[in-house]
């Protein structure tokens, strides 16, 4: 770690980020979907820490108990655009019997913090709090205004979280043109000694679909050429087997260009077949871009019937669809064709795809912050296969990046820890994150 930057946060910040991560994990904010979650205890905890840094946090709810926190830090340059720094407080469910430790224990063992939310994303929430509090102790102010937001409901529809904030409290984000949040600037080990730090500059759109097949109800013992279950099954099989064509967005093209250069490969990114060949040559690093060179649609749920000898008149299925920036029209027309004339489909949940410039000053400063503390690393842009609260904040004209820095040792599969069993984060990774986040936010 560069000695020149060590003094910008104090030892207390390094202790606090570990404690905050553990404390937040112990506050069970499991989001079961359908409104079944209570983020308020975690929101009150975050607000208390912000108030301790001299800020004036606002707690906001659309639904009782589904609490969001927003605060603003004034920068030294009033003419500069503001930056949104946001993290969500809810987590996905965890079954304790599957874990090595209780998922809501926040246990710190052998230099590792364990529990649901350790990487998604109470670690980043803790980093934000630790940096802000260190600045208050050391008298540091950022160049531009920072709006700090901790949100509810990211792990479901975001209707009680970032969607509610963007739609009902846009004034709190006045002046914000860019934002940072989860899923970027983590160590990706490629298995051959290289350490890659992908920073997210885009997200595929979310297209969760409900498929409804209609047919003729009847007795299960009789021939039925209008069987709704059969019609749904055929449509689902077509969707599952469909080979989506390669479509390179500017972000993914930039990612492939930089990765190819890193591996000494001359890429031909205008030939779809050559793109698949290139992915094969990148080895493990292909995982950073492979999910985002195409649209995708994966059947996930089926519902039909009520008795084995009764053919139902309707059958329903659900599909997790994701489309690239600029790819929604192709996604729609393809689904029209694959579902056929006997199956209707509609969006069960839809959110936009995002694309952020990789040639921006902000991206360059994120790159520089990582490289200062990980000079052996190789920073590359990438597009997320899924989505974040940046989708909702984009309604306010805020360009989003994924930047929650962690320096992970080899053997930590960052992607597998998201929503996985034994989610955990090393203490040293949190310390790295505090240093890098502090460096970036002061210079952004």
Considering only CA atoms, which of 93, 166, 210 is closest in space to residue 391?
166
User: Active site residue: 39, 125, 154, 351, which one?
Assistant: 154
**Under 8 Å between Cβ of 200 and 401:** yes
**Under 8 Å between Cβ of 315 and 224:** no
Q: How far is residue 276's CA from residue 271's CA, in Å, rounded to a whole number?
A: 9
Mention every residue, 6+ apart, whose C-beta is less than 8 A from residue 110: none
**Under 8 Å between Cβ of 398 and 170:** no
Mention every residue, 6+ apart, whose C-beta is less than 8 A from residue 137: 10, 12
If you compute the radius of gyration of the chain from its CA atoms, what whole number of angstroms results? Answer: 23
Q: Which long-range contacts (CB under 8 A, 24 or more apart) does 23-27 make?
A: 23/106, 24/89, 24/106, 24/117, 24/122, 24/125, 24/126, 25/104, 25/105, 25/106, 25/113, 25/114, 25/115, 25/116, 25/117, 25/118, 25/122, 26/104, 26/105, 26/106, 26/115
**φ, ψ dihedrals at 56, nearest 5°:** -120, 80
User: Active site residue: 90, 155, 389, 438, which one?
Assistant: 90
**Under 8 Å between Cβ of 312 and 304:** yes
Q: Is 154 a catalytic residue?
A: yes
Q: Would you call 296 helix, strand, or coil by DSSP? A: strand
Residues in the chain: 444
Q: How far is residue 257's CA from residue 263's CA, in Å, rounded to a whole number?
A: 10
Q: Would you call 142 helix, strand, or coil by DSSP? A: coil
Q: Mapped to the 3 state alphabet, what secondary structure does 188-239 carry?
A: EECCCCCEEEEEEEEECEEEEEEEEEECCCEECCCCCCCCHHHHHHHHHHHH
Q: Is 110 a catalytic residue?
A: no
**Catalytic residue list:** 90, 154
């Amino acid at each position: 770690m560069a000695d020149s930057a060590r003094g910008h946060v104090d030892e207390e910040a390094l202790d606090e980020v570990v404690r905050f991560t553990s404390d937040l994990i112990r506050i069970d904010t499991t989001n079961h979907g359908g409104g079944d979650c209570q983020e308020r205890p975690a929101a009150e905890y975050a607000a208390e820490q912000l108030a301790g840094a001299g800020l004036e946090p606002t707690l906001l709810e659309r639904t009782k108990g589904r609490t969001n926190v927003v605060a603003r830090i004034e920068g030294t340059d009033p003419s500069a655009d503001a930056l949104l720094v946001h993290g969500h407080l809810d987590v996905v469910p965890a079954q304790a019997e599957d874990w090595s430790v209780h998922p809501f224990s926040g246990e710190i063992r052998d230099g590792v913090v364990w529990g649901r939310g350790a990487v998604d994303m109470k670690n980043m929430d803790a980093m934000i709090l630790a940096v802000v509090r260190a600045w208050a102790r050391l008298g540091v102010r950022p160049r531009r205004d920072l709006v700090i937001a901790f949100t509810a409901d990211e792990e479901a529809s975001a209707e009680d979280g970032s969607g509610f904030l963007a739609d009902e409290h846009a004034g709190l984000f006045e002046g914000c043109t860019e934002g940072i949040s989860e899923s970027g600037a983590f160590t990706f080990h490629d298995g051959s000694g290289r350490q890659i730090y992908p920073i997210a500059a885009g997200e595929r759109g979310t297209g969760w679909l409900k498929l409804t097949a209609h047919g003729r109800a009847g007795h299960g013992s009789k021939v039925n050429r209008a069987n709704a279950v059969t019609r749904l099954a055929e449509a689902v099989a077509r969707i599952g087997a469909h080979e989506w064509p390669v479509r390179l967005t500017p972000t993914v093209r930039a990612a492939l260009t930089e990765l190819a250069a890193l591996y000494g490969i001359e890429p031909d990114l205008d030939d779809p077949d050559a793109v698949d060949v290139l992915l094969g040559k990148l080895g493990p690093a292909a995982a950073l871009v492979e999910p985002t060179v195409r649209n995708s649609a994966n059947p996930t749920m089926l519902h039909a019937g009520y008795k084995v000898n009764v053919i139902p008149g309707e059958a329903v299925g659900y599909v997790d669809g994701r489309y690239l920036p600029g790819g929604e029209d192709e996604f729609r027309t393809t689904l029209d064709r694959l579902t056929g004339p006997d199956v209707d489909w509609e969006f069960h949940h839809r959110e936009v795809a995002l694309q952020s410039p990789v040639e921006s000053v902000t991206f360059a400063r994120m790159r520089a912050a990582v490289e200062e503390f990980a000079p052996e690393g190789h920073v590359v842009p990438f597009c997320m296969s899924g989505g974040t609260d940046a989708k909702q904040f984009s309604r306010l004209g805020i360009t989003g990046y994924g930047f929650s820095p962690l320096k992970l040792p080899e053997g930590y599969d960052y992607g597998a820890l998201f929503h996985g069993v034994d989610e955990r984060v090393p203490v040293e990774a949190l310390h790295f994150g505090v240093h890098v986040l502090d460096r970036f936010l002061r210079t952004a």
